[in-house]
Amino acid sequence: MATSTAITLAGATGLTGSFSLKSILTSPHPFDLTVLARRAVAETPGATNKLTTRLYDDLFEAPKGEQNIAKPGGVYVSCLGTTRAKAGGTAQQEKIDLDLNRDLAARARKDGAETAILVSSSGANATSYSFYLKIKGQLEEDIKGMGFSHVVILRPGFLLGQRPEKRVIEGAAQSVFRFLGKFSSEAYDVGDAIAQLAAHPPAEKVTVLYDAEIAAYGKQYRDSKAQSGSK
């Protein structure tokens, strides 16, 4: 029997995070999952892996708490992110997308996590003129410098999938990207790819994946489930 992989997930209630949660909990690979969240996550039908939920009144408390957020040799996954509108401005968005993400990853590394998996964005670049792409790029660079044995960065294009909250303009854009069939990633592919990568991290110290590669890892995950007889 395979040894259980300790894994910590931040951002489990968002679009990619919710799919990652489901994929990890129903994976044929044994995972011991810890979720960091401000509210309880939904139950996952067919879950076979262990779930521990750490609830915080303020997620900014997590990196500073006495309790470890990751286990030695484990995997840290961040699907954490927000929008300028939801955060209440660019300053607040930066505190979450960059500062909180960076602090959580640093704490996970301090606790002994060896692999970091980050959902970033296509076009992320620390020198970009775009505020959003700049902070995404800065976060990538920060995490690469933390000393993880393996860093996997997913850079999906436009994310396709149903969010917990409705975004009318985004819904129309999803239809366009689905019609084009490129420059986008299905959120379920991101979730499946994360579960596959957590179970089998690439040998390289830093791996950057785009839409087609994300979809390929997602297919690997689904193939492994089919072979194991998992639903």
What is the C-alpha separation between 8 and 162, in angstroms, rounded?
24
231 inside domain: no
Characterize the bridge pairing of strands 150-154 and 206-209. parallel
What is the domain range of residue 79? 5-225
**CB neighbourhood size of 217 (10 A):** 21
Is residue 230 domain-resident? no
Average confidence score pLDDT of the chain:
91
Number of domains in the chain: 1
Judged against a pLDDT cut of 50, whether residue 1 lies above it is answered with yes
- Beta carbons of 211 and 177 less than 8 angstroms apart: no
Q: What is the CATH number of the domain that holds 183?
A: 3.40.50.720
0.85 exceeded by pTM: yes
Residue 198 has a CB neighbour count (10 Å cut-off) of 27
How much is the pLDDT for 161? 72
> How much is the pLDDT for 174?
46
Q: Please compute the mean of the pLDDT values over residues 60-75 and round it to a whole number.
A: 97
* 50 belongs to a structural domain: yes
